[in-house]
Copies of this chain bind each other. A is one copy, B any other.
Amino acid sequence: MVGLMEKKTHSNAQRAVQELRRLIFSGELAAGSDHLETELADRLGMSRTPVREAALLLESQGLLEMRPRKGVRILPVSSGDMREIYDVLTELESLAAERAAAAGYSNAELAALNTAISDMDAAIAAEDLEAWAEADDRFHAELVRLGGNSRVEMIVAMMSDQVRRAKASTLFIRPLPLQSNEDHRAVYQAILSGDPETARRIHRAHRQQAREILTGLLEKHRLKNL
């Protein structure tokens, strides 16, 4: 044990989860690639035990698959998968929008939502797709939080993780989402004015359109797996 300062804020298993997620999202562990438990353990500087526990968790979240003797496989996301995921996101986010509108939030409580919309406007003006994607994520995450259903939050986060990898690959071929922010504003307005039906309807249409654009792009560009 060297005398360097050790951070012990997290257990090794937790660090393994964080690190594996990072490696997956960054593409350092490519979709479809296989990795032995021992290899990952060496790479993360710990024994197989916490790595295995982390892999089990990530498997339950659909990011990878543990196949005996063949190693941990980073799951690819097909365009078919993306359709499934967007369908789930559409339903659950629409519910969140409806409930957020019914909750009667004050202007102040909707500040984060508003900020995200402004940031998207700014990003569009600057033609900064990266910044736009970040703010868009923020908008959707905040919307779901306002919906007040912890299970919806968890599921949406899980599905969003699976989308995240595809986003990085498709961002460059996407058009600037000009229409998108009008929808966001309309949803925001519906929530602020306490109109659940409108919030649900608009957000639902918004998500369905996003789904068509994304899956259309994926299939057009033959990006079957990401």
Partner of A87, one of B52, B149, B159: B149
Partner of A53, one of B56, B92, B151: B56
- CB-CB contacts below 8 Å: A28-58 with B: 52-53, 56-57
At the interface, yes or no: A61 with Cβ under 8 Å from chain B?
yes
CA distance A107 to B19 in the complex (A): 50
CA distance A88 to B99 in the complex (A): 12
- Interface bin, chain A: 20 to 34
Q: Chain A binding site: helix, strand, loop or mixed by DSSP?
A: helix
Residues of B within 8 A of A99 (CB): 87
At the interface, yes or no: A152 with Cβ under 8 Å from chain B?
yes
Q: Are A84 and B149 in contact, with the CB atoms below 8 A?
A: yes
Residues of B within 8 A of A149 (CB): 84, 87-88
Residues of B within 8 A of A56 (CB): 53, 56-57
- CB-CB contacts below 8 Å: A148-166 with B: 149-152, 155, 159
At the interface, yes or no: A95 with Cβ under 8 Å from chain B?
yes
Residues of B within 8 A of A92 (CB): 88, 91-92
CA distance A62 to B60 in the complex (A): 12
Q: What are 15 A-B interface contacts by the 8 Å CB criterion?
A: A56-B56, A56-B57, A57-B60, A60-B60, A84-B149, A84-B150, A84-B151, A87-B95, A87-B152, A88-B92, A88-B149, A88-B152, A91-B91, A91-B92, A91-B94
